[in-house]
C-alpha cells in the first residue's frame, strides 16, 4: 500500500488543543517551543483545520514562518458544514483563507472535514471534490483525502464514489476498536481493503485514555508500570500496519515529552501487550461514560455559550471515579455563567457533533445529577 509519509516519526502534531495563555488566546511562545521539540525529535506531520479557532494562524507563526517549507508536512481541512460556511462560494474560499492564515504556500495534505452519511451530500453539492482535484493539478495540494465519522458501510460507499481519495483519517483508539457505534476496527478494515493509508485521530479519545479509571490502570500497570496510559494508547494505534500517522493533540510540554518518548524509537505492541490492551478495554467497558472527544465542534454555535465538552468531562469524571459531592462542587465552581440547565434545546450542537451524541438529553442528565 502506498504510504504517503515515509521519512519521519509516525507521530503527528495535532494543532487543535494548543497551550493557552491566561487570556485564553493560544500561547505562541510555548507553541513555538513545542514545534521545535517535535521537529528536533524527528516529527514532520502537523495537522490543523479551517474551523480550529486560531489554530491555522498559530501554525503559521510557530511553524511556517520559522522553519523551511520542506522540513515539515502540513495538513488542513475544508469544512462544508453550516457552522463553517453558508454556500459553495464560502466553502471553496476556505482554502485561500487557510493559505493566508498559515503562509504555507501549499498544503501537503488537504482533507474534506468530518464526512458522514448526511453531510457528504453537501460536499458533492458544493463541488468540493472537483475543487480539490483542481488544487492538486495546480500543485497547491499534494495529496487529498477526508476525515470520517460514520459507519464502515458509509465509508465503503464514499470510497467507491471517490476512489481518487488518497488517504482517510479515522478515529481509532483501543476503547473504540470494537465499539458498536464508532466501529474503529471495521472502518480501518474498509480503508485498508480500498488501499488507502490511514491517519489516526483521537488515539487517546479526547484525553480519556491518558487518565483512565482505576480498573483500567491496574490492567496496564500489571503488564508494565513504567509505560504511561497515553503511551499504551498511542502505541496501540501506531502498531496497526496500515496506519501512516497517529495524530496527538498535544497541549503542553509534558504530553509532548511523553509522546515523543513513546514514538521516537517506536516498537509495535507485542502479542502479550495486545492481550493487555484487550483486558484494559474490557475493564473500561465496565464504566458508563459520555463518548465526547472534546473536539469542540458543537460550541461556537451555541446561543447559550454552554461549554459542552467541559460539562461532559466533569460528568465523566464523576461517572468514572465516583465522588458525587466533589463532582457537584467542581461543577458549581467551573460553570457559574452557562450551565447544562441553560440549554434551550435549539439542536444546533447535535447537528455539529461528529460523534452523533444526543447532547440535549445528556445535558438534561448532567443538570439532574450535578446541579
Residue whose C-alpha is closest to residue 199's, from 165, 225, 222, 157: 165
Q: Is 314 left (phi over 0), alpha (psi -120 to 50) or beta?
A: alpha
Compute the distance between CA of residue 64 and CA of residue 74 in angstroms, rounded to an integer: 9
User: What H or E segment, with its residue span, contains residue 88?
Assistant: helix 88-102
Q: How far is the CB of 166 from ligand SF4 (least distance, A)?
A: 26
Residue of 144, 348, 366, 370 that binds ligand SF4 (CB under 6 A): 348
Q: Does 227 bind ligand SF4 (CB under 6 A)?
A: no
Q: How far is the CB of 290 from ligand SF4 (least distance, A)?
A: 8
- Measured CA to CA, the distance from residue 79 to residue 354 in angstroms comes to 12
Verify binding: residue 355, ligand SF4, rule CB under 6 A. Answer: yes
Q: d(Cα 237, Cα 356) in Å, to the nearest integer?
A: 23
- Give yes or no for residue 99 binding ligand SF4 (CB under 6 A): no
Using the 8-state DSSP alphabet, how is residue 209 labeled? G
Among 85, 263, 308, 320, binds ligand SF4 (CB under 6 A): 308
Q: Which stretch binds ligand SF4 (CB under 6 A): 38-46, 66-74, 173-181, 345-353?
A: 345-353
| Residue 49 within binding range of ligand SF4, rule CB under 6 A | no
CB burial readout 153-175, b (16+ within 10 A) else e: ebbbebbeebeebbbbbbbbbbb
Minimum Å distance from CB 355 to ligand SF4? Answer: 4
Distance CA 57, CA 370 (A): 37
Report in angstroms how near the CB of residue 337 gets to ligand SF4 at its nearest: 13
Binding of ligand SF4 by 360 (CB under 6 A): yes
Of residues 107 through 166, those in contact with ligand SF4 by CB under 6 A are none
DSSP notation for 100-119: HHH--SSEEEEEEEEE-TTT
Nearest CB to ligand SF4, comparing residues 93 and 304: 304
Q: Is 343 in the site for ligand SF4 (CB under 6 A)?
A: yes
Residue 345 touches ligand SF4, criterion: CB under 6 A: yes
Q: Between 280 and 302, name the residue whose CB sits nearer to ligand SF4.
A: 302
For strands 11-14 and 168-171, give the pairing.
unpaired
Q: Is 366 in the site for ligand SF4 (CB under 6 A)?
A: no
Q: Which is nearer to ligand SF4, 9 or 284 (CB)?
A: 284
* Dihedral (CA of 263, 266, 268, 270) sign: negative
Residue 201 is a binding residue for ligand SF4 (CB under 6 A): no
Q: Give the residue, chosen from 184, 255, 293, 314, that forms a contact with ligand SF4 under the rule CB under 6 A.
A: 293
- Does 53 help bind ligand SF4 (rule: CB under 6 A)? no
Convert residues 309-338 into a mask of x (bound to ligand SF4 by CB under 6 A) and - (unbound): x-----------------------------
Give the residue carrying C-alpha cell 502479550: 272
Please state, in angstroms and rounded to a whole number, the distance separating the CA atoms of residues 98 and 83: 16
Query: From the centroid of its chain, how far is CA 139?
Result: 27
Given the rule CB under 6 A, which residues bind ligand SF4? 292-298, 302-304, 306, 308-309, 343-349, 352-353, 355, 357, 359-360, 363
Amino acid at each position: 500500500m502506498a504510504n504517503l509519509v515515509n521519512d519521519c516519526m509516525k507521530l503527528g502534531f495535532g494543532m487543535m488543543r494548543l497551550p493557552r495563555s491566561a487570556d485564553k488566546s493560544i500561547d505562541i511562545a510555548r507553541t513555538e517551543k513545542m514545534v521545535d521539540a517535535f521537529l528536533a525529535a524527528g516529527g514532520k506531520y502537523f495537522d490543523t483545520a479551517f474551523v480550529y479557532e486560531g489554530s491555522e494562524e498559530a501554525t503559521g507563526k510557530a511553524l511556517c514562518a520559522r522553519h523551511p517549507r520542506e522540513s515539515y508536512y502540513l495538513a488542513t481541512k475544508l469544512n462544508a458544514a453550516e457552522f463553517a460556511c453558508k454556500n459553495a462560494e464560502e466553502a471553496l474560499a476556505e482554502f485561500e483563507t487557510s493559505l493566508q492564515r498559515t503562509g504555507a504556500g501549499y498544503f501537503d495534505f488537504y482533507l474534506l472535514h468530518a464526512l458522514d452519511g448526511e453531510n457528504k451530500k453537501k460536499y458533492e453539492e458544493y463541488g468540493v471534490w472537483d475543487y480539490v482535484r483542481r488544487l492538486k493539478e495546480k500543485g497547491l495540494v499534494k495529496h487529498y483525502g477526508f476525515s470520517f465519522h460514520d459507519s464502515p458501510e458509509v465509508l465503503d460507499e464514499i470510497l467507491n464514489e471517490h476512489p481518487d481519495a488518497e488517504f482517510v483519517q479515522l478515529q481509532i483508539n483501543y476503547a473504540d476498536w470494537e465499539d458498536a457505534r464508532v466501529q474503529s476496527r471495521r472502518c480501518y478494515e474498509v480503508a485498508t481493503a480500498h488501499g488507502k493509508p490511514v491517519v489516526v485521530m483521537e488515539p487517546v479519545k479526547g484525553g480519556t485514555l491518558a487518565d483512565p479509571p482505576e480498573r483500567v490502570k491496574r490492567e496496564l500497570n500489571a503488564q508494565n508500570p513504567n509505560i504511561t496510559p497515553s503511551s499504551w494508547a498511542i502505541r496501540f494505534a501506531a502498531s496497526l500496519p496500515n496506519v501512516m500517522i497517529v495524530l496527538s493533540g498535544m497541549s503542553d510540554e509534558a504530553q509532548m515529552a511523553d509522546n515523543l518518548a513513546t514514538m521516537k524509537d517506536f516498537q509495535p505492541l507485542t502479542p502479550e501487550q495486545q492481550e493487555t490492551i484487550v483486558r484494559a478495554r474490557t475493564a473500561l467497558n465496565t464504566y458508563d461514560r459520555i463518548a465526547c472527544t472534546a473536539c469542540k465542534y458543537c460550541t461556537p454555535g451555541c446561543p447559550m455559550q454552554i461549554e459542552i465538552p467541559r460539562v461532559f468531562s466533569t460528568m465523566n469524571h464523576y461517572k468514572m471515579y465516583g465522588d458525587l459531592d466533589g463532582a457537584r462542587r467542581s461543577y458549581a465552581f467551573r460553570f457559574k455563567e452557562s450551565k447544562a440547565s441553560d440549554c434551550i434545546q435549539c439542536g444546533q450542537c447535535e447537528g455539529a457533533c461528529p460523534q452523533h451524541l444526543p447532547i440535549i438529553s445528556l445535558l438534561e442528565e448532567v443538570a439532574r445529577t450535578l446541579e
